[in-house]
Amino acid sequence: MTPTSDPAAQTAVDPSADWWRHAVVYQVYPRSFADSDGDGMGDIPGLVSRLDYLADLGVDAIWISPFYSSPLNDGGYDVADYRSIDSRLGSMDDVDRLVAESHARGMRVIMDIVPNHTSSEHPWFQELLASEPGSPAWDRYVVREGRGADRGQPPNNWRSVFHGSGWSQIRTPAGEPTGSWYLHLFDTTQPDLDWDNPEVHAEFRDILRFWFDRGIDGFRIDVAHGLVKEAGLPDFDYPHPDEEKQQAMFEDDIAHAPFWDQDGVHDIYREWRSVADEYDPPRVFCGETWVPNPERLARYQRPDELHTSFNFIYLEAGWNAAAMRRTIDETLANHAAVGAPPTWVLSNHDLVRHRTRMAPVDVSGARDLDRGLRRARAATLFTLSLPGSMYLYQGEELGLPEVVDLPDDARQDPAWHRSGGTDGTRDGCRVPIPWSGDAPPYGFGSDSATWLPQPHDWADLTVTRELGDPASTLEMYRAALRIRRASSALGEGSLLWLDAPGDVVALRRPGRDGTDVVSVINLGTGTVRLPAEWGTDLLVSSSDDVAALSTDDGPPSMVVGGETALWLAATS
Ligand code: GLC
């Protein structure tokens, strides 16, 4: 297949204020996307140089993980200055160019805002450390007296998502411990802000306007469900007393903790929504919301709150027909109740890449990555047919696997270091992506010493290698996005379930122009014949294991191999 794009659709941003209701958004992890200056770390000019690739891929928007000034203790989610760019990643001029050049190619730009915590290098925290206890500078963060006679114990039992206690003792400028402690739900260098303080509210409203005024189209909100803590900061009755099972954000049974998904957090988003609505077109938000069920999720999408939020519940359903269908139903019902479109996602910079996650594991514990890729492609194609918007994570369109054998001394994830090397799941999906060539740095930059080392077996996974190869994962994504954009049935709208045989899940999306799309995923391993009434007009499939076969006594019907998805055009 030759690379093509629809020039009309790509030359200007979709002017509709509702673009986010059906958008395909591509997540860029900027340090790992493209390196323009040969320091082994991706940067904004590198991203600008690759915008044509993204426009050709057919995405409607890009979301870029943080590029603010930061000590990079947590990949930039530790912000030292919300109004400046980290010099290793670029300059304000580069960001202005990024916005202009993206818009010129028809793509919106979404930044990442980190309101739960700042970096400990942020001037506010530095001011706290330099000032007397009880001074106003202390009120911007969650600070409490310690427990015990000498106040030498943390104020409560909350743990850090990155392991260990969620509290650290504040020390005087001379290094003496005080009886006061600050909360950090993440790394010690990420103190939690106190959202009871109006000054924090005012500061973030101002930061939003600062970027909206520069033409940014929206924000993904980091840890959107965590800003408000339960009054009194009560101890939490952890379901897993042992240290190993304390991943406080990604575990379902911890979603009820007194520091997640508190009702008060919604007041903040009402306030933010009114800021976004001051703009023409209105700016948009997408929340990072780890919540226990679709009902709690949909609360964030009430009409005066966030536009969308990540639906991690669907992602967690995994490769399981019943769980997928149930989650889709619950998501649609709960979102419909608040008038919001659902959002779907399968991978991001915090999670094991879905090719590896979905790979079956054999008795020896080895993952079958070929089947993992087959499943990942099928899951992506099927998910792209669901109503609403979809987030893609850089490199998934190439079929990249998780890098599971990074050397210990290369690892950067604070969770790895704080867990004593037992929890290291987040570096393996952040390895710089391969563009071209047969060896590192695969066209990522000019230096093969990339900030996380690339594997030596990625030559077949480069953009150059996959472009134009009809069997490649990249061409499947490009075809699906082209069809999705051109079809009135896909994106926002309704869904009808179809009765399907075996491990098949199938649905029909009604088109406004008389052409529906039937989307089918076969989660089993055996070949399945689909009902003849679904037709044989194949639009795209996730593997070539599909064929229209005639029957003895009726019209032809599609036969679909195991772990395969396809879309059919159907006349309504
Ligand atoms: C979010 C980010 C993650 C970061 C954490 C703390 O979960 O996605 O990368 O480490 O928040 O900011």
pLDDT digits (tens, 9 = 90+) for 312-360: 999 999 999 999 999 999 999 999 999 999 999 999 999 999 999 999 9
Measured in Å, residue 477 CA sits from the centre of ligand 1 at 27
Q: Is residue 188 part of a domain?
A: no
Give, using CA atoms, the residue closest to atom 7 of ligand 1: 223
Let me know whether 83 and 144 are in one domain: no
In ligand 1, the atom with minimum distance to the C-alpha of 77 is: 12
Is 77 near ligand 1, meaning CB less than 6 Å away? yes
For residues 12 and 486, the answer to whether their CB atoms sit within 8 Å is no
- Between CA 306 and CA 269 the distance in angstroms is 6
Q: What integer is the mean pLDDT of 244-271?
A: 79
φ, ψ dihedrals at 417, nearest 5°: -70, -40
- Between CA 361 and CA 404 the distance in angstroms is 14
Q: What angle do CA 133, 134, 137 make, to 5 degrees?
A: 90
Let me know whether 305 and 400 are in one domain: yes
Which residues participate in catalysis according to the annotation?
Answer: 222, 278
Question: What residues have CB less than 8 Å from 552, skipping those under 6 apart?
Answer: none
Per-residue confidence (pLDDT) for residue 249, from 0 to 100: 57
| Cis ω before 556 (30° cut-off from 0) | no
For residues 187 and 162, the answer to whether their CB atoms sit within 8 Å is yes
Model confidence over 278-289: pLDDT tens digits? 999 999 999 999
Let me know whether 304 and 178 are in one domain: no
- Between CA 133 and CA 346 the distance in angstroms is 45
Per-residue confidence (pLDDT) for residue 526, from 0 to 100: 96
Choosing from 65, 67, 74 the residue with most ligand 1 atoms within 8 A of its CB, the one to mutate for a pocket test is: 74
In ligand 1, the atom with minimum distance to the C-alpha of 114 is: 12
Residue 103, judged by CB atoms within 10 A of its CB (0-12, 13-18, 19+), counts as middle
Give, using CA atoms, the residue closest to atom 4 of ligand 1: 77
Measured in whole angstroms, the distance separating CA 117 from the mean position of its chain's CA atoms is 19
Identify the residue with better confidence: 434 or 555: 434
Q: How confident is the model at residue 252 (pLDDT cuts 50, 70, 90)?
A: low
Q: Which of 30-44, 345-359, 506-520, 551-565 has the lowest mean pLDDT?
A: 551-565
Per-residue confidence (pLDDT) for residue 253, from 0 to 100: 64
Per-residue confidence (pLDDT) for residue 359, from 0 to 100: 97
In ligand 1, the atom with minimum distance to the C-alpha of 162 is: 10
Q: How confident is the model at residue 26 (pLDDT cuts 50, 70, 90)?
A: very high
Measured in Å, residue 186 CA sits from the centre of ligand 1 at 8
Measured in whole angstroms, the distance separating CA 547 from the mean position of its chain's CA atoms is 34
Choosing from 32, 72, 73, 77 the residue with most ligand 1 atoms within 8 A of its CB, the one to mutate for a pocket test is: 77
Examine the pLDDT at 2 and tell me if it is beyond 50. Answer: no
Q: Which of 129-133, 436-440, 521-525 has the lowest mean pLDDT?
A: 129-133
Measured in Å, residue 75 CA sits from the centre of ligand 1 at 9
Let me know whether 345 and 456 are in one domain: yes
Q: Which helix (H) or strand (E) holds 296?
A: helix 294-299
Give, using CA atoms, the residue closest to atom 9 of ligand 1: 350
Report the relative pairing of strands 218-221 and 284-287 from DSSP bridges.
parallel
Is 427 near ligand 1, meaning CB less than 6 Å away? no
Examine the pLDDT at 6 and tell me if it is beyond 80. Answer: no
- Between CA 430 and CA 462 the distance in angstroms is 16
Q: What is the CATH number of the domain that holds 98?
A: 3.20.20.80
Alpha carbon of 83 to those of 203, 280, 287, 372: distances in Å? 11, 22, 21, 41
Per-residue confidence (pLDDT) for residue 432, from 0 to 100: 98
Q: Is residue 324 part of a domain?
A: yes
Let me know whether 99 and 164 are in one domain: no
Number of domains in the chain: 3
Helix axes 265-276, 198-213, angle to 10 degrees: 30
Is 402 near ligand 1, meaning CB less than 6 Å away? no
Q: Where are the beta strands (DSSP E) in 454-512?
A: 496-498, 504-509
Q: What is the CATH number of the domain that holds 507?
A: 2.60.40.1180
- Between CA 286 and CA 25 the distance in angstroms is 11
- Residue 136 DSSP symbol: G
Domain boundary residue, one of 453, 481, 509: 481
Torsion angle, alpha carbons of 203, 258, 274, 211, to 10: 40
Q: What percent of the chain has pLDDT over 90?
A: 86
Let me know whether 132 and 210 are in one domain: no
Let me know whether 276 and 375 are in one domain: yes
Measured in Å, residue 30 CA sits from the centre of ligand 1 at 15
Q: Which is it for the CA torsion 122, 127, 130, 132, positive or negative? A: negative
Q: How confident is the prediction for the chain on average, in pLDDT? A: 93
Choosing from 64, 186, 286 the residue with most ligand 1 atoms within 8 A of its CB, the one to mutate for a pocket test is: 186
Which tokens go with 206?
Answer: 């101002």
Give, using CA atoms, the residue closest to atom 2 of ligand 1: 222
Helix axes 369-383, 473-486, angle to 10 degrees: 10
For residues 101 and 62, the answer to whether their CB atoms sit within 8 Å is no
Examine the pLDDT at 44 and tell me if it is beyond 80. Answer: yes
- Between CA 225 and CA 263 the distance in angstroms is 9
Q: Is residue 488 part of a domain?
A: no
Let me know whether 136 and 282 are in one domain: no
SS3 554: coil
Per-residue confidence (pLDDT) for residue 243, from 0 to 100: 56
- Between CA 328 and CA 342 the distance in angstroms is 9
Let me know whether 318 and 397 are in one domain: yes
Let me know whether 241 and 355 are in one domain: yes
Q: Which of 495, 506, 513, 493 is nearest to 535 (CA)?
A: 506
Q: Is residue 60 part of a domain?
A: yes
- Between CA 339 and CA 297 the distance in angstroms is 13
Measured in Å, residue 349 CA sits from the centre of ligand 1 at 9
Q: Which of 37, 108, 96, 41 is nearest to 70 (CA)?
A: 41
Q: Is residue 230 part of a domain?
A: yes
Q: Is residue 486 part of a domain?
A: no
Measured in Å, residue 483 CA sits from the centre of ligand 1 at 33
Count CB-CB contacts under 10 A for residue 460.
Answer: 13
Give, using CA atoms, the residue closest to atom 12 of ligand 1: 77
Is 413 near ligand 1, meaning CB less than 6 Å away? no
In ligand 1, the atom with minimum distance to the C-alpha of 74 is: 10
Measured in Å, residue 468 CA sits from the centre of ligand 1 at 36
Question: What residues have CB less than 8 Å from 85, skipping those under 6 apart?
Answer: 44, 67, 68, 69, 91, 92, 94, 95
Count CB-CB contacts under 10 A for residue 191.
Answer: 28
For residues 57 and 481, the answer to whether their CB atoms sit within 8 Å is yes
Domain boundary residue, one of 425, 448, 481: 481
Choosing from 31, 70, 189, 222 the residue with most ligand 1 atoms within 8 A of its CB, the one to mutate for a pocket test is: 222
- Residue 153 DSSP symbol: B
Q: What percent of the chain has pLDDT over 70?
A: 96
Measured in Å, residue 29 CA sits from the centre of ligand 1 at 12
Longest dimension (CA), the chain: 89
In ligand 1, the atom with minimum distance to the C-alpha of 116 is: 12
Instruction: Supply the DSSP string of 206-274, one letter for each residue.
Output: HHHHHHHHTT--EEEETTTT-S---TT------S--SGGG--TTT-GGGTTSTTSS-TTHHHHHHHHHH
Q: Is residue 19 part of a domain?
A: yes
Q: What integer is the mean pLDDT of 60-64?
A: 98
Q: How confident is the model at residue 1 (pLDDT cuts 50, 70, 90)?
A: very low
Measured in Å, residue 200 CA sits from the centre of ligand 1 at 20
Is 350 near ligand 1, meaning CB less than 6 Å away? yes
Q: What is the CATH number of the domain that holds 127?
A: 3.90.400.10
Question: What residues have CB less than 8 Å from 166, skipping those under 6 apart?
Answer: 154, 158, 159, 160, 183, 184, 185, 259
Measured in Å, residue 77 CA sits from the centre of ligand 1 at 6
Is 223 near ligand 1, meaning CB less than 6 Å away? yes
In ligand 1, the atom with minimum distance to the C-alpha of 117 is: 12
Question: What residues have CB less than 8 Å from 16, skipping those under 6 apart?
Answer: none
Per-residue confidence (pLDDT) for residue 10, from 0 to 100: 44
b vs e for 117-136, b when ≥16 Cβ sit within 10 Å of the residue's Cβ? bbbbbbebbeebeeeeeeee
Per-residue confidence (pLDDT) for residue 250, from 0 to 100: 56
The terminus-to-terminus CA distance of the chain in angstroms comes to 29
Domain boundary residue, one of 140, 159, 183: 183
Is 114 near ligand 1, meaning CB less than 6 Å away? yes
Per-residue confidence (pLDDT) for residue 9, from 0 to 100: 40
Per-residue confidence (pLDDT) for residue 572, from 0 to 100: 76
Q: What integer is the mean pLDDT of 496-517?
A: 95
Let me know whether 445 and 534 are in one domain: no
Per-residue confidence (pLDDT) for residue 421, from 0 to 100: 87
- Between CA 208 and CA 532 the distance in angstroms is 53
Per-residue confidence (pLDDT) for residue 11, from 0 to 100: 52
By residue range, what is the domain housing residue 141? Answer: 123-183
Let me know whether 459 and 550 are in one domain: no
Examine the pLDDT at 241 and tell me if it is beyond 50. Answer: yes
In ligand 1, the atom with minimum distance to the C-alpha of 350 is: 9
For residues 73 and 414, the answer to whether their CB atoms sit within 8 Å is yes
Is 74 near ligand 1, meaning CB less than 6 Å away? yes
For residues 80 and 119, the answer to whether their CB atoms sit within 8 Å is yes
Examine the pLDDT at 556 and tell me if it is beyond 80. Answer: yes
SS3 502: coil
The amino acid occupying position 35 is D
Per-residue confidence (pLDDT) for residue 506, from 0 to 100: 98
Q: Is residue 1 part of a domain?
A: no
For residues 104 and 11, the answer to whether their CB atoms sit within 8 Å is yes
